[in-house]
Amino acid sequence: MSRVPTEIAIRFSISAASAYALAWACGLVLTVPAALVAASFIVNLALLCIALALLPDGSDKRRWMHIRGIGRSAWLSVGAYLGLWLYGVWAEGPRVFVALAAITIAQTSALAAVNAIVETGGGSGRLARTSCGVLLALSAAAFLWTRPPILNAGSPEASSRWTSAVMWTSPPAGVAAAWYSESDAALDPQTSARRFDLVRAPMNYMVWIGSYEAVAYPEILPRGLARGGLAAWLLCFALPVLLACDGMKLRRFT
């Protein structure tokens, strides 16, 4: 076996085993479905932080480095959510874990696209990574700081744009949307009222916007051409940007 497939297999296995162990640890204090939900939020943020650390700096002259980085992050994401599914295989079907892997890969691709834009625009590798780190921190904590802008937006339309921006760009909101729209409970009309709902959960209900706004969750997986899903929309933004920026960088160094 060649070196690259061996490295991929090792990272994939470590990622799956780590996610399985995390779900097991959460299962010590929570029921299996709740442990899977809690572990999925932790895994998503951990994978985004790993993707941030794997972003190439401006001095790296190897070809298609952003695309390669997304490939490595994708394998880690698939392995991690496979590990979660294996832990709760009898408690939840695979569809929600496919959605979780898809939204995580899309989010890491969007993060890499921002890094590529800053680098290609003349910024240093350090500036690009710092920009991505600040953006990731702000988006991950969006539920904690966006309440005043939403409530003081001045019009229902402006408030709606703020809430939509949070639901489309915040990593925890993407994970919550996957559970809300793609879980077994969401797909069964008899149990859809009991599905996981982060926005209307007691603690977040008090911290964020409560009953002031009607918040719609985005769908994660495609449902026909007219409803592409959040993961597909993020990838449609990120992949062309990554290809263009890596292509420009390749021409610059050749």
What DSSP letter does each residue of the chain carry, written as one string? --HHHHHHHHHHHHHHHHHHHHHHHHHTTS-HHHHHHHHHHHHHHHHHHHHHHHPPPTT--STTHHHHHHHHHHHHHHHHHHHHHHHTTTTS-SHHHHHHHHHHHHHHHHHHHHHHHHHHTT--HHHHHHHHHHHHHHHHTHHHHSHHHHHTSSSHHHHHHHHHHHHHH-HHHHHHHHHHHHSHHHHSTTTGGGS--STTSHHHHHHS-TTSS-PPPPP-S--STT---HHHHHHHHHHHHHHHHHHHHHHHH-
Mean pLDDT of the chain: 85
- For residue 82, what pLDDT band results from cuts at 50, 70 and 90? very high
Overall average pLDDT of the 203-223 stretch: 75
User: Which of 39-48, 189-198, 239-248 is least confident?
Assistant: 189-198
User: Which of 2-11, 29-38, 140-149, 227-236 is least confident?
Assistant: 2-11
Say if residue 241's pLDDT is above 50.
yes
Looking at the structure of the chain, the number of domains it has is: 1
- Please, which residues have CB within 8 angstroms of residue 14's CB and are 6 or more apart in sequence? 79
To the nearest whole percent, how much of the chain has pLDDT over 90? 38
Domain that holds residue 206: 3-253
- For residue 133, what pLDDT band results from cuts at 50, 70 and 90? very high
- Please tell me which residue, 253 or 222, carries the higher pLDDT value: 222
- For residue 48, what pLDDT band results from cuts at 50, 70 and 90? very high
- For residue 58, what pLDDT band results from cuts at 50, 70 and 90? low
Overall average pLDDT of the 102-125 stretch: 88
- For residue 228, what pLDDT band results from cuts at 50, 70 and 90? confident
